[in-house]
Structure 1
Amino acid sequence: MHIIKVNAIDSTNSFLRNWNREKYLTTPVCVVAKEQLTGKGQMGTTWQSNANENLTCSVFMPINSIEVMDQFYISIAVSLAVYDTLNSLILPKLSIKWPNDILSDRYKVCGILIENILNSGRLRGVIIGIGINVNQLEFDNLPFAGSIKQLTGKNFDIDEVLQVLLSKLKNRFSELSQENFDVLKEEYESLLFRKDKPSTFVDVKGDSFVGIIKKVSNSGKLQILLEDEVIGDFDLKEIKLLY
């Protein structure tokens, strides 16, 4: 995979998005930054990361045979690749907090932001922004943020973590075909944070309710068992799972 290394950049996702417009990328490319000045997370949040202490990168992956209606399987493959990466580094109690935050012992170690690239209404590629907290030890006003070093007590080489990540991404994307969707989804669901446990959620009105995470729909909605044995489907914008 072609790797571009930069010192400081506003956003690795924006860099790749602009580069794709110029070059019309057709093969995997990774851009990695020592410092990301305006990194973004899900729902427009900011990704906090100290310079030279963490892995902040974006990867372009071509998509040939995935329909737009099946795009959540890309998120599943990416989540599993990051899980595989952290699992190989022996992080404890790993789980996936829907839709694609990676937790270790309840601490968020990785954030993922996926941008699909469409051409004439068809998926032709995806830009995957990944931030992994590697050696950072302090996170201001983020009580549930953690790093690999915090959780293992060891300092890690960021380039080595990147190489493992790119290898795991390549492996998972090689599995990303319709005949493997059920297997990938089953593995993803087995790793969901708080699965099959009574959990507290907050809806868009700020009201809290209790439910039990059961599965995820093919379109990526979280399926929660509610009162009276009713299964509700919820979008990312509709609920927040409390720790």
Structure 2
Amino acid sequence: MRIIKLDATESTNSFLRDLGYTNSLEDYTVVVTKQQTQGRGQMGTVWRAKPGENLTFSVFKAYSHLKIENQFYISMAISLALVAALKDFNVRKISVKWPNDILSENKKICGILIENVIKQNVLDSSIIGVGLNVNQKSFTNLPKATSMAVQEQQFFELDDVLLTFLKHLKLFFKQLEEGEFSTLHTRYEALLFRKNKPSTFKDAEGCVFSGFIRGVSSTGHLQVLLEDEILKTFSLKEISLLY
């Protein structure tokens, strides 16, 4: 496993992708930086983190037999690895806010950005970007953000946290590669934020409605029970969960 450490870069995902254009990347090649100047989140959002206090990194993962229709299991495996790592450091009340934000006591502690490479209609590889709040104590204008240090009132060694996550990531990707989709699915759904609780959502047109999260389909669509016992599935662009 190769770990590349940078003082600063625009985006670890972009750096790792560009590196792959000129080099043959080995599995679990990692790029980690103290400062990410143009960090990205889901759907064009920006990831902000104080330099040197948090983990901002990307991991390269190649696949051999993973079908395109199973690509959401990549997100499941990564989310489960992050939850397992946080639990190793005794971080409390961890949940997954669909599709792949990690929460601690209902506040965001980690975000994931997965960029899949598809070649000849087959999943070839992924660049997995992770922003994990570790030692940052204040979050200006981000009332729903938290960190490991805020939650546990202690300092964490960044390298220890990174290596612990990578250890779990390998274990969950082993399950994925061995086709243990049902196990991953069950464990992921058990961690879903606000599962089976009355929740408020907003659709793409801005309309607000209520429902109950029942689960996630194998393709990553959120399953919501609406009025009149109607179970409807939504893609990421169709719905957002309001706190």
Tell me, yes or no, whether TM beats 0.5: yes
Q: State the number of aligned residues.
A: 243
In the alignment, what sits opposite 1:160?
160
Quote how far apart the aligned CAs of 1:149 are: 0.3
Is 1:210 matched with 2:210? Answer: yes
Backbone CA RMSD of aligned residues: 1.0
> How far 1:26 moved relative to its partner?
4.2
Report deviation, 1:124: 1.5
User: Given residue 86 of structure 1, which amino acid in structure 2 is its aligned partner?
Assistant: L
TM superposition outliers: structure 1 runs of 4+ over 4 Å = none
How do 1:218-237 and structure 2 match up within 5 A? 218-237=218-237
- Larger deviation, residues 26-35 vs 38-47: 26-35
Q: CA shift at 1:239, angstroms?
A: 0.9
Q: Name the CA distance, whole Å, in 2 between partners of 1:205 and 1:119.
A: 34
Post-superposition offset of 1:177? 3.3
* Corresponding position: 1:177 with 2:177: yes
User: 1:163 Cα shift?
Assistant: 0.8
Give CA deviations for 1:42-82 in whole Å, capped at 9, x if unaligned.
11100010000000000001111110111000010011011
1:195 has 2:195 as partner: yes
Q: Percent identity?
A: 49
Aligned equivalent of 2:32 = 32
TM-score, normalisation: structure 2: 0.98
Structure 1 stretches of 5 or more lacking a match?
none
Deviation by residue 1:156-210 (Cα, 9 ceiling, x = unmatched): 0111111111111111111113631011101100100000001000111111100
SS in 2 for 1:175: helix
Quick check: 4-13 or 118-127, which moved more? 118-127
Distance in 2 between the 1:96 and 1:218 partners? 16
CA distance in 1, matches of 2:79, 2:168: 10
TM-score normalised by length of structure 1: 0.98
CA distance in 2, matches of 1:236, 1:222: 8
What amino acid is aligned across from residue 16 of structure 2 in structure 1? L
Tell me how far apart the structure 2 counterparts of residues 163 and 178 of structure 1 sit (CA, whole Å): 23
Question: Could you give the per-residue CA deviations for residues 111-139 of structure 1, whole angstroms, max 9, x where no partner exists?
Answer: 00000112222111110000100011111
In terms of mean alpha carbon deviation, does 21-30 or 124-133 score higher? 21-30
Counterpart position of 2:2: 2
Measured in 2, the distance between the counterparts of 1:7 and 1:79 equals 26
- Say whether 1:107 aligns with 2:107: yes
Q: How does 1:6-17 map to 2 (within 5 A)?
A: 6-17=6-17
Unaligned regions of 5+ residues in structure 2, if any? none
